[in-house]
Structure 1
């Protein structure tokens, strides 16, 4: 598996307001395409839960299950990228 630094080096441009479909599925190691609330889907024995993910970071692996998947629930602009809060 590639390191986070290696994955980020492959990303040439991260679009600031990229729209993510609720049908898009992401796995650990993928670059988070847009900041927001994501549901982490596990197997049938583990309940799903919601997490906040930040654009440009890497979706992490799970300590409990082998193949978690991430889907966007609500997209939001990270405060550091919001026009009203930029220095």
Structure 2
């Protein structure tokens, strides 16, 4: 056994991990699934792949913008309410 945290984790594990909905998830130290994109259809042409990836990229950019805006609103609200609190 190595004298590192990774060695300890390999021997003793990290316990059961659960997602927010209560389902079991795998440990990050366990082998990961292959990186092949399971949503890619068989026989997809390069043009179709580019179109699919561009659409996915646009959706991810929109979600990033939305989440960034929400985070900024929450930060401003926290700052406002922290200033309003008089203990």
Q: Which has the higher contact order (CA 8 A, sep 6+)?
A: 1
Bigger helix share:
2
Q: Greater share of strand residues, 1 or 2?
A: 1
TM-score of the superposed pair, with normalisation by structure 2: 0.17
Q: TM-score, normalised to structure 1's length?
A: 0.17
